Amino acid sequence: MVEGAYPVGRLGRGVGAPGADAREFADALLAFLAAARRTRGRIQPLFDDITVPQLVLLDAVEECGSAGVGAIATYTGLTQPTVTRGVSALERDGLVRRSASGNDRRRTVVNLSDRGERLLAAKRAVVAGHVAGAWDSLDASERALAVPLLRHLAELVEHLF
């Protein structure tokens, strides 16, 4: 290789050039996001009794439903009216319970019902079973990094754009 020349990366810029690490990271991140987008549609056939968006709402209710519908909307990136409609459907199906907040009767608290907790746990187990092969392919040092790194990257992606 000619001195000062850099191999061409996926974005057509030189690997090793100033800023190349950030470009390589961007390429890898975009590839990961694209793979996640493609995978999303392949998850639904695993569930015959709930949709993926409903599952996302159940997860959000577990995480922050006690803070109200607005917190669920923020957590999921959905609008408050969309969350309200989704929660109404989940309540109709017996998966969540809504109640007025103790001090502020205008704020609605959402909690998983026993049935909702069991369903969410069961669906998480289904997903875990499908990703077990990927987990098994990681060596011990990669496993130690995988979960905290994925959680940190998820936080970073939320604040990128």
| Extents of the domains making up the chain | 1-46, 50-158
Kindly list the distances between the CA atom of residue 69 and the CA atoms of 55, 100, 117, 149, in Å, as whole numbers in the listed order.
Answer: 16, 11, 18, 29
The reported pLDDT for the residue numbered 3 is 41
Give residue 154's pLDDT. Answer: 87
Look at 3-7, 45-49, 99-103, 146-150 and tell me which has the smallest mean pLDDT. Answer: 3-7
d(CA 140, CA 83) in angstroms, rounded, equals 39
The dotted CATH code for 50-158 is 1.10.10.10
151, amino acid identity = R
User: Taking the model in full, what pTM does it have?
Assistant: 0.72
DSSP state of 14: B
Residues 8-62: tens digit of each pLDDT: 445 444 555 558 899 999 899 889 888 888 887 788 777 888 988 899 999 999 9
In tens, the pLDDT along 81-131 reads 999 999 999 999 999 999 987 776 677 899 999 999 999 999 999 989 988
Rounded CA gap, 71 and 61, in Å? 9
Contacts for 133 with CB less than 8 Å, ≥ 6 apart: none
